[in-house]
Amino acid sequence: MIIYKSQAEIDLMREAGAILAEALQRLQSIARPGVTLLELDREADRFIRARGCIPGFVGYQGYQNAICTSVNEQVVHGIPTHRKLREGDLLSLDAGLIHRGFWADAGLSVGIGKISPEAQRLMDVTRQSLDIGIEKAQVGDRIGDISAAIQQHVERAGFSVVRQFVGHGIGRDMHEDPQVPNFGIAGRGPLLKPGMVLAIEPMVNAGGPDVALLGDGWTVVTVDHSLSAYFEHSVAITPDGPEVLTAPAAQRRMSSPLVGEAGNFPPPPAGEGQGGGHD
Ligand code: CO
């Protein structure tokens, strides 16, 4: 069952998303060679709680940490350990929080120090595929339009999308209906309506699409040990187009750049802007 959110609920999810965006920016800024995955996790936990939110991954189906840290051939759900980041690593960070009863879920891949051109291209294509999927998240489109657009962009670049894990609706629960696969057929699947909020999360492998679960019961890895990248945003479907709730505030509107945030308007030219007023 798809749960549609009211404007007031989307307002709360926007607040949740803004805090999560800040947390991820913070993690990205401190991820460098020598830093351990657990240090990133501790900082995420501290940051989220300091803003009055709950690090919702903690205790989720027995998970113990605030974030997932997946390195190189790890796809998603890597458990933070004392492993030190090394120059050239491709790190995927996934974080979630609960703010006044509502979830935000987002993640990104980041290169540690200087990374290989192939790792950079994998990250770029994965990031682009998320943006392309978000652009398809328009009222009147279907889930399959998002899925197909992501898959097409990834496969044209010679990479593959993971099948065993998918995006999802999000709200009072982290995982709500509908599922949002990163592969599929345009025109199929649930219709997108105002009030839906979706976590769109392409997981892209440099090699084949198959993944396996490690013995820790969480970490997902590529079967062929190829590199994997991942980006995720929580996105509200609105009559004005998709609103990326987990993007930094200035970048939230994808398709209607002048709608919404006051900060998106250019400043008035010098010497003007005082006398006119509104009618
Ligand atoms: Co998610």
Provide the residues around ligand 1 (an ion) whose CB is within 5 A.
105, 199, 201
Mean pLDDT (whole number) for 132-148:
98
250 C-alpha to center of ligand 1: Å? 22
Dihedral of the alpha carbons of 77, 81, 84, 86, in degrees to the nearest 10: -20
Q: Tell me the pLDDT tens digit for each residue of 245-268.
A: 999 876 766 544 333 333 333 333
The pLDDT value recorded for residue 194 is: 98
Q: Tell me the pLDDT tens digit for each residue of 191-232.
A: 999 999 999 999 999 999 999 999 999 999 999 999 999 999
Instruction: Reply yes or no on whether the pLDDT at 54 is more than 70.
Output: yes
The pLDDT value recorded for residue 250 is: 67
The pLDDT value recorded for residue 278 is: 34
Q: How many residues does the chain have?
A: 279
105 C-alpha to center of ligand 1: Å? 5
The pLDDT value recorded for residue 24 is: 98
106 C-alpha to center of ligand 1: Å? 6
Question: Among all chains, which residue has been given the structure tokens 């006119």?
Answer: 276
32 C-alpha to center of ligand 1: Å? 24
Q: What band does 273 get if pLDDT is binned at 50, 70 and 90?
A: very low
* 92 Ramachandran zone, left/alpha/beta (phi>0; psi -120 to 50): beta
The pLDDT value recorded for residue 270 is: 38
Looking at domain 7-251, which CATH architecture does it have?
Alpha-Beta Complex (3.90)
Query: Is the pTM value of this prediction over 0.85?
Result: yes
67 C-alpha to center of ligand 1: Å? 12
Domain boundaries in the chain?
7-251
Here the tokens at position 86 are: 């090394």
Here the tokens at position 11 are: 């307002």
262 C-alpha to center of ligand 1: Å? 29
86 C-alpha to center of ligand 1: Å? 26
- HSE-CB for 245 with a 13 A CA cutoff: 31
168 C-alpha to center of ligand 1: Å? 6
Average pLDDT, the chain: 92
How large a percentage of the chain has pLDDT more than 70? 90
82 C-alpha to center of ligand 1: Å? 24
How many C-beta neighbours within 10 Å does residue 6 have?
9
Q: Tell me the pLDDT tens digit for each residue of 150-203.
A: 999 999 999 999 999 999 999 999 999 999 999 999 999 999 999 999 999 999
236 C-alpha to center of ligand 1: Å? 14
260 C-alpha to center of ligand 1: Å? 25
The pLDDT value recorded for residue 77 is: 98
Q: What band does 271 get if pLDDT is binned at 50, 70 and 90?
A: very low
201 C-alpha to center of ligand 1: Å? 6
Q: Tell me the pLDDT tens digit for each residue of 79-102.
A: 999 999 999 999 999 999 999 999
